[in-house]
Amino acid sequence: MSLLDNYLNRIRARGNGALADAVKATSDKISPSYIIPFSFKDHVISMLLGNVQSGKTSHMFALMCSAADEGFSIFLLLTTDYTLLQQQTLFRVRKDLPDFCVCDETDETIFIANDMKKPVVIVLKKNTDILKKWKNNLSSSHFCEGNALFIIDDEADAASLNTLVNKSQQSTINKWLTEIKNTAASSIYLQVTGTPQALLLQSHISGWHPYFVHYFMPGESYIGGNTLFPQDLPPYVILTDNEEANELMKDDELAENGLLTALLYHLVSSADIFINGGSVSNFLIHPSMATAQHSKFSDKVASYLNEIAGSFDDDEVASNFKSVYDDLASTKNNIRSFDEIMTKISEILENDAVNMIILNSKGLATESSEYESGINVIVGGNSLGRGVTFPMLQTTYYCRVSKSPQADTLWQHARMFGYDRELSLIRIFMPPLLNKLFVDINAANNSIISQIERKKPEDVNIHYPQGLRPTRKNVLDNKIVLTFTGGIDYFPFLPNNKSIEAIDDLLARFGEETYSVNLNIFIYVLENIISEADDWKPDNFIGILQTMLSAKPGAQGKLIVRRGRDIGRGTGTLLSPNDRALGKAITDFPVLTMYKVKGTEDKGWNGKQIWIPNIKLPGTDVYYGI
């Protein structure tokens, strides 16, 4: 029986047939196209894309088994530079892949002793010393000289990319990953992520742009962005009062905007979960990155718990709990009675059963077992993101918005996504501005996924509101990444037409009015435009328009057509003041203004008529492409 069959049978034996079918579908899609025909001569970059906390690990394990069945023998599984996550991943590999020889970072002796008898998986942090050591281990073993490497980079957009690309240098982690790839004559490098922005915006010449991307759908019970951050506010999100989110927290004081209320929600939902036989309920607090703030928040929550316990019989406390209970009951019809809930909360407080856990770079919590059972309040910073999973995360409290928010970083901190949550009891507390950012990121993610399912990776366009970056600047090559901003006129300096007759036919029905047209009309027109300079490429705008159409097939634009213009070549936007004002007043739609000039020789047109485009994208969103 194949390694893949063994893995699938283990999943089914645990009663999860749906997951087995899903990961098999991923293997069936990728293996025949990219693994079975692999030449064992090339270095191939690929991407496995899934929603945050949607089960990517199971899918990448299935691909590892498929690859081992086809002759791959050496697998490197890379995690972020965080011991808790690396150990969490190592435990999972040992449990799920017993057919492999599984090595920790210090198991070079086991690696050598295995002598390629079994396929080997080495679980490593993306840490300079660790990667350097294992590059040397791989080189000195000589195993790679006759075998291909299969590298699985979990959270591949974190740490792996070259952060010195705009300085014509190579960052250390990127350098060692490159050298590890080069220890073998061939390799498949599988980038695994839920936030592909930085990877899709890499250039081909960098060696880190994926040749192909496979997106897998989450399971039916997945709770993600479409549930928690749709365009209309769902009942699971509670907006904190102060819209000036960055003013919520100063160096010498805490953001207490809704924190006590959030704690009451956690107590009520935990009581219901435990009355019904549950064993864990988690509450996550996101203050600033500063570790000093984490202790302050932990102390403040502990103080609240003492205050609640000391005045539990007061009418005001009961009234506050009743308001919280009524709101949770509005989304959970079968919630336990209020009296049962209050009795259970009293028991929880009397037994001091709420555990305070700080999770940050100082490692105050180092074992995931600390929050895998019991009623917990977890406080932390960056350690709360990228791969760390929290079972039954029911309540989340955000304090502030970054001054320079990045879409991929914010989304990776959305630990409330996943399967093992009770949706009816989920509550997320956040400032309105932060909620708006999450809504925008979710919409952009849906657009990216829609494009990936239809386009080549290099043709994907990404757009966000002004002020929200797709990823950190230092991993994007300024010479490659293109940005286009809504509200700005874009036009070719030296335009030409592929077929003026085709454009004439397309625009024949349009007079001097402003017309609402399907964006496909814009695309048909732009397909007949070229520029004799590199300042303006129609494909860039066609890609952006296709992105809009992928989100809404009936998406409209405003078309303005003018004929018989006598304008000189190379004189700017060419728009008259009236037409420029007309286009500027339209902010909710793309605007394409088409001028047909007479083409007189004295104006630089060589006596040839020509259509000239001017395109303006809607709003103030920024569109990114390569």
Which tens digits make up the pLDDT trace of 139-188?
Answer: 999 999 889 999 999 999 988 999 999 999 999 999 999 999 999 989 99
Please give the pLDDT value at position 241: 72
Q: Where are the domains of the chain?
A: 3-215, 225-443, 481-625
Tokens of 152: 């699985």
- 337-341, 539-543, 577-581: which is most confident: 337-341
- The CATH H-level (homologous superfamily) assignment of domain 3-215 is P-loop containing nucleotide triphosphate hydrolases (3.40.50.300)
What residue type is assigned to position 66 of the chain?
Answer: S
Q: Which 3 state secondary structure label does DSSP give 185?
A: coil
Q: Is the separation of the CB atoms in 492 and 613 below 8 Å?
A: yes
The beta strand positions in 310-409, using DSSP E, are 354-359, 374-380, 393-398
Has residue 359 got a pLDDT over 90?
no
Q: Global pTM?
A: 0.86
Q: Is the separation of the CB atoms in 185 and 111 below 8 Å?
A: no
Q: List beta partners, residue 597.
A: 565, 610
Has residue 250 got a pLDDT over 80?
no
Task: Give the Cα separation of 364 and 386 in Å (integer).
Answer: 18
Please give the pLDDT value at position 364: 46
Task: Give the Cα separation of 280 and 261 in Å (integer).
Answer: 20
Q: Which 3 state secondary structure label does DSSP give 324?
A: helix
- Token look-up 């969490």 returns 88
Please give the pLDDT value at position 594: 94
Q: What is the mean pLDDT of residues 389-393?
A: 91
What residue type is assigned to position 269 of the chain?
Answer: S
Nearest to 480 by CA among 372, 296, 626: 626
User: In this predicted structure, which of 130-139, 343-352, 544-553 has the lowest mean pLDDT?
Assistant: 544-553
Q: Is the separation of the CB atoms in 415 and 396 below 8 Å?
A: yes
Q: Is the separation of the CB atoms in 227 and 418 below 8 Å?
A: no
Q: Is the separation of the CB atoms in 474 and 609 below 8 Å?
A: no
pLDDT confidence of 454, banded at 50, 70, 90? confident
Q: Is the separation of the CB atoms in 63 and 209 below 8 Å?
A: no
Residue with the bigger pLDDT between 42 and 368: it is 42
Please give the pLDDT value at position 576: 85
Tokens of 91: 């435990």
Name the helix (H) or strand (E) containing 489: strand 489-490
Q: Is the separation of the CB atoms in 92 and 47 below 8 Å?
A: no
Tokens of 542: 């066609």
Task: Give the Cα separation of 400 and 380 in Å (integer).
Answer: 13
Nearest to 415 by CA among 457, 387, 381, 454: 387
In this predicted model, what pLDDT tens digit does every residue of 33-70 receive, in sequence order? 999 999 999 999 999 999 998 989 999 999 999 999 99
Angle at 372 between CA 367 and CA 375, to 5 degrees: 115
184 vs 54, 180, 532, CA distance in Å?
32, 8, 44
Task: Give the Cα separation of 304 and 259 in Å (integer).
Answer: 9
Residue 162, C-beta contacts closer than 8 angstroms, at least 6 positions apart: 170, 171, 174, 206, 208, 475
Has residue 253 got a pLDDT over 60?
no
Has residue 254 got a pLDDT over 60?
no
Please give the pLDDT value at position 257: 67
Has residue 247 got a pLDDT over 50?
no
Give phi and psi for 529, each to the nearest 5. Answer: -110, 140
Residue with the bigger pLDDT between 248 and 64: it is 64
Task: Give the Cα separation of 488 and 485 in Å (integer).
Answer: 6
Q: What is the mean pLDDT of residues 469-492?
A: 90
Kindly calculate the radius of gyration of the chain based on its CA atoms and give it in whole angstroms. 28
Has residue 251 got a pLDDT over 60?
no
Tokens of 466: 């002004």
Tokens of 323: 């308001």
Average pLDDT, whole number, for the chain?
A: 89
Q: What is the mean pLDDT of residues 394-420?
A: 87
User: In this predicted structure, which of 284-293, 299-308, 343-352, 485-494 has the lowest mean pLDDT?
Assistant: 284-293
Question: What share of the chain in percent tops pLDDT 70?
Answer: 93
In this predicted model, what pLDDT tens digit does every residue of 79-92 receive, in sequence order? 988 888 899 899 99
234 DSSP 8-state letter = P
User: In this predicted structure, which of 72-76, 89-93, 533-537 has the lowest mean pLDDT?
Assistant: 533-537
Burial of 208 (0-12, 13-18, 19+ CB in 10 A): buried
Q: What is the mean pLDDT of residues 370-387?
A: 81
Nearest to 145 by CA among 119, 184, 113, 188: 184
Please give the pLDDT value at position 29: 94
User: In this predicted structure, which of 225-229, 311-315, 319-323, 327-331 has the lowest mean pLDDT?
Assistant: 311-315
Q: Are strands 280-286 and 374-380 parallel, antiparallel or unpaired?
A: parallel
- Token look-up 């049962």 returns 340
Nearest to 411 by CA among 619, 283, 259, 229: 229
Q: What is the mean pLDDT of residues 505-533?
A: 93
